[in-house]
Amino acid sequence: MNKIPYKWRQTDREVVVSLLIKNVRQEALKVDIHQRECHVSITLPTGVEIVFVLDPLFHSVDPGRSFYQILPSRLNIHLSKLCQGQHWQYLDDGNQPEHIEQQQPPSIIENPIDIQIMSDLHLELFFPRREGIGVLPGYHVFECTPSARILALLGDIGLAVHGGLYDFLERQLHKYRHILYVIGNYEGYDSTYDHARVELQDFASRMRAQRLSDPTLGTFILLDRTRYDLTENVTILGCTLWSFVTKDAERQCLHNFHRVHDWTVEKYNSAHAEDLKWLTNECAIIRTQEPHRRIIVFTHHGPTRHGTIAPQYMGSPIISAFASELTTHPVWAPPISLWAFGHTHYNCDQVRDGIRVVSNQRGYDGIEALTSGFSADFVIRV
* 8 Å CB contact between 79 and 17: yes
Mean pLDDT by 10 residues, the chain (382 residues): 74 86 85 87 77 82 86 86 81 46 40 92 88 84 95 98 98 96 97 96 94 91 95 94 86 74 92 97 94 96 95 85 94 96 95 94 71 87 90
Q: What pTM, to 2 d.p., does this model score?
A: 0.74
Q: Look up residue 75 and give its amino acid.
A: L
* 8 Å CB contact between 91 and 61: no
* 8 Å CB contact between 339 and 355: yes
* 8 Å CB contact between 56 and 36: yes
Give the pLDDT of residue 3: 60
Give the pLDDT of residue 40: 86
Domains and CATH numbers, the chain: 6-80 (2.60.40.790), 114-381 (3.60.21)
How do beta strands 37-43 and 49-54 pair?
Answer: antiparallel
Alpha carbon 278 to chain centroid, angstroms: 13
Give the pLDDT of residue 122: 96
Give the pLDDT of residue 360: 97
Give the pLDDT of residue 158: 98
Alpha carbon 228 to chain centroid, angstroms: 7
The C-alpha atoms of residue 307 and residue 344 are separated, in whole angstroms, by 11
